């Protein structure tokens, strides 16, 4: 029987799946790939970032609202989605930083925290996984823990001696990190806006950005510009988190598709041969999977 290619993307909160690699997921769904989003937390401690939604009744029901938003985004992207059941840590602010709340995701032991993800991997049997780099893409405790449990799970899921109670072993073939906003991508869009006589939303960010740039680590660029609109619609579904008039939507769609039509990834682990650079997350896998 023909086998369907399967992709699992692991994210910290509802809305992360729509801002990181969403167009790539939509492209693969359109090509017939089975895509599952694993969401670590419910986003219970997330702030309301859209001024239009910043109302007392929203804050009082934020956990349920974010679940409904996730359902809408999932439907837009055409993916499946599963909750791992951890509690949002919130983003600690202040100097010194306050301790994380007891029982939150950011404080779990990664070996324990990986268990529901290992179980999900063994049930879904993905060929490819994506997650965040060791810095979480940015240093949110839930993003860093998402990385930690993803790496543990990738290594353990195929080992029959580890967590035998969590199902039959399954070893994904590749693990990628979402690349996010590299300086090269931001600069290309910034210069495109200026060349068109438009105000760039990236001017201040380019001047003040202090995070280490990982552009030199990109191994894989997925052409998915035709799915950027799907990505943006999924983002807008997370109405508590995304201002429809905000930063994300200031660059005209046609310019995004022309200037930077890819979503980019770092190949972190691979058990198959696939020459770099790549243009397909399933490079080196399609040849061994009978999809016909």
Note the pLDDT tens digit of each residue in 42-86. Answer: 999 888 888 888 888 888 888 999 999 999 999 999 999 999 999
pLDDT band at 151 (very low <50, low <70, confident <90, very high): very high
- In percent, how much of the chain has pLDDT > 90? 77
Q: Which residues contact 62 (CB under 8 A, 6 or more apart)?
A: 43, 44, 46, 48, 240
All structural domains of the chain, each given as residue ranges with its CATH number in brackets, are 6-180+216-251+261-288 (3.40.50.10320)
Summarize the annotated binding site as residue ranges: 13, 16, 143
The DSSP element (H or E) to which 289 belongs, if any, is none
Numbered residues of the known binding site for Zn(2+): 13, 16, 143
Mean pLDDT over 78-106 rounds to 93
Top pLDDT among 212 and 158 is at: 158
Report the pLDDT value the prediction gives residue 83, as an integer from 0 to 100.
Answer: 98
**What confidence score (pLDDT) does residue 245 get?**
85
Has residue 292 got a pLDDT over 70? no
- DSSP string for 223-292: E-GGGHHHHHHHHHH-TTT--TTSGGG-S-HHHHHHH--EEEEEEEEESS--PSSBS-TTTTTGGGS---
pLDDT of residue 291 exceeding 70, the answer is no
CA 228/CA 237 separation, integer angstroms: 14
pLDDT of 175 above 90:
yes
**What is the residue-averaged pLDDT of the chain?**
93
Torsion angle (degrees, nearest 10) of CA 62, 242, 139, 149: 60
What pLDDT shows up at residue 191?
95
């Amino acid at each position: 029987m023909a086998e369907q290619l399967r992709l699992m993307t692991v994210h910290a909160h509802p809305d992360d799946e729509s801002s990181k690699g969403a167009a790539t997921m939509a492209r693969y769904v359109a090509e017939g790939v089975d895509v599952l989003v694993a969401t670590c937390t419910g986003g219970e401690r997330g702030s309301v970032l859209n001024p239009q939604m910043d109302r007392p009744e929203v804050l009082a029901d934020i956990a349920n609202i974010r679940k409904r938003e996730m359902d809408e985004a999932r439907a837009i992207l055409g993916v499946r989605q599963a909750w791992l059941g951890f509690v949002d840590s919130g983003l600690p602010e202040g100097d010194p930083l306050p301790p994380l709340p007891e029982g939150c995701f950011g404080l779990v032991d990664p070996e324990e925290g990986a268990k529901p993800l290992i179980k999900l991997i063994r049930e879904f049997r993905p060929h490819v996984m994506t997650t965040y780099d060791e810095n979480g893409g940015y240093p949110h405790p839930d993003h860093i823990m998402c990385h930690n449990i993803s790496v543990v799970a990738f290594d353990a899921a195929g080992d029959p001696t580890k967590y035998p109670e969590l199902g039959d072993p399954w070893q994904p073939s590749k693990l990628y990190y979402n690349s996010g906003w590299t300086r090269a991508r931001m600069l290309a869009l910034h210069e495109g806006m200026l060349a068109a006589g438009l105000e760039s939303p990236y001017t201040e960010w380019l001047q003040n950005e202090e995070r280490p740039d990982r552009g030199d680590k990109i191994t894989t660029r997925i052409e998915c510009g035709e799915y950027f609109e799907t990505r943006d619609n999924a983002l807008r579904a997370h109405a508590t988190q995304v201002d429809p008039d905000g930063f994300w939507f200031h660059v005209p769609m046609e310019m995004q598709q022309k200037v930077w039509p890819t979503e980019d990834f770092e190949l972190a682990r691979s058990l198959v041969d696939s020459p770099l650079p790549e243009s397909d997350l399933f490079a080196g896998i399609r040849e061994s999977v009978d999809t016909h």
